[in-house]
Homo-oligomer: A and B are copies of this chain.
Amino acid sequence: MVVTRKISLQTKGDGDIIDITSQVEEQLAQAKVNSGTVTLFIPGSTAGITTIEYESGLLADFPTMWERLIPKSIPYHHDRAWGEGNGYAHIRASLLGASLVIPFNNQKLALGTWQQIVLVDFDNRPRSRQVILQIMGK
């Protein structure tokens, strides 16, 4: 069985980290697939998906890491060419990755207790985003 769902959300951009775990669980509950995988994919080249313990300390530490590794303030060829000022957002997204695949059994995701699924929007402005869920299994 293959069931496709979409989660639509508004982000603030600028590294906004949004916990989508409960929305993924809701979609899974409605899908009537017992065991398999959920593939999460974010169309677009300035956002990514990962897991994190969603608590205020790490929500500050994660952006600090990005700013240290791929700073906003250094020059990017992308910005010279396109003038959008979001070159750093593209590079961060390419490093983090656009997809995440999570197994489930009895309609329950194999997440750890303190592990949440997050969309990270690196873009330099608020965005409307859609996360694609491909639920496959039996």
Contacts and interface: CB of A to CB of B under 8 A. Distances in A.
Interface in A36-60: 36-37, 39, 41, 43-45, 50-53, 55-58, 60
A13 interface: no
Contact of A98 (B50, B56, B95, B132): B50
Contact of A97 (B100, B111, B132): B100
Contacts of A80: 57
Contacts of A101: 39, 41, 99, 101
Interface of A is mostly: mixed
B51 A136 contact: no
Copies of this chain held together in the complex: 3
Contact of A52 (B36, B45, B103): B45
Contacts of A43: 110-112, 115
A74 B23 CA distance: 34
A111 to B, nearest CB: 6
Interface of A: 1-2, 4, 35-37, 39, 41, 43-45, 50-53, 55-58, 60-62, 65, 69-70, 76-82, 87, 90-91, 93-103, 105, 110-112, 114-115, 132-134, 136-138
